[in-house]
Structure 1
Amino acid sequence: MLRMDWLENQMHHSDTMAQRLYQQFSYEYVGQSLAQWQQEFAAGQLDGSWKTLVVTDGDQLLGSAALAQDDLSSRPELGPWLACVLVAPEARGRGLAAQLIEGICNHARDSGIKTLYLHTHDKADYYAKRGWHLLERFDAWGKEQCLMSLAL
């Protein structure tokens, strides 16, 4: 049975989720070891800097999305951020990413946040269809990135 919950309530999944993010977005972790990222990610669940929503099926971790305080060091004036959106390949096509994103947006709105930001190099069309607006394009990590926002 599918269950959506905050990772802070299921910390036994923290290292696995951090490892999947590290592998999927490896270009963002140059100079940081997996162990360092896992430690930062776990600490972020407790201090709120990486408030992560996960979806599971039984004990199988299927995906995540996070509300991050800082996800783009070159733009410290922006935030908070929708980050860490990732669904396991075997669970894709079931609308889980959309549900996770909606959960993060609802939490942000309920917390009084008026605008969320994200950056993506390959999913701008996906987010645009869901109401996100392109603010600018920039180069980072050897890829063209799209900086986007969503008014809550």
Structure 2
Amino acid sequence: MSLHLDWLAAHMQHSDRYAAWIHQQFHYEYADQPLAQWQREFAEGQSNGEWSCLIAMDGERLLGGAALARNDLTDRADLGPWLACVFVDPEARGRGLAEQLIEGICEAAKQRGVSRLYLHTQDKHDYYGKRGWQLLEGFQAWEKQQWLMVRDL
């Protein structure tokens, strides 16, 4: 396996597929947004800074990614930037890929002068808690319990 991480902006042929993975994985967040519309927004986000996505590839095969997002929670526009869109292809899980991608986003944010990153998760707060993220608060969204977390870089 020749694993490498790079910005999606340099591999836009993978943008629609990755956006589709996110749309499916977090379907409750996109219930009101058609896939094609999200794919356009996500693709534009690679150049306008809204959804800067770091992807993992094995050769040219897309394995997963994570994004540095300007705003990932409409009700909390006061917070940001965000770690968002973390996803690894089920066939590529169990190798620490998500952790590499998350650390890559944290490092990129730090290099851009960001001192604090936020995320929200429905069921992975224990996972993030073990990796240096602190629980800020619980909240309800999309008719589900969610967790707002923060990490100082």
Same fold (TM over 0.5): yes
2:50 equivalent in structure 1: 49
**Structure 2 matches for 1:72-91, cutoff 5 A?**
72-91=73-92
Residue segments in structure 1 that go unaligned for 5+ positions in a row: none
2:61 equivalent in structure 1: 60
2:22 equivalent in structure 1: 21
1:122 equivalent in structure 2: 123
2:93 equivalent in structure 1: 92
1:148 equivalent in structure 2: 149
Amino acid at match of 1:54: I
Give the drift of 1:78. Answer: 0.3
Q: Partner of 2:127: helix, strand, or coil?
A: helix
Matched, 1:111 2:125: no
Matched, 1:134 2:146: no
Per the normalisation by structure 1, the TM-score is 0.99
Give the drift of 1:109. Answer: 0.4
Q: Partner of 1:32: helix, strand, or coil?
A: coil
Number of equivalenced pairs: 152
1:70 equivalent in structure 2: 71
Matched, 1:6 2:20: no
- Whole-Å Cα distance in 1 between the matches of residues 3 and 13 of structure 2? 17
Cα distance per residue 1:35-74 (max 9 Å; x no partner): 0000000000011110000001122110000000000000
Amino acid at match of 1:38: Q
Amino acid at match of 1:96: L
Per the normalisation by structure 2, the TM-score is 0.98
Identity %: 61
Q: Partner of 1:22: helix, strand, or coil?
A: helix
Deviation beyond 3 Å, 4+ runs, structure 1: none
Q: Partner of 2:76: helix, strand, or coil?
A: coil
Give the drift of 1:97. Answer: 0.2
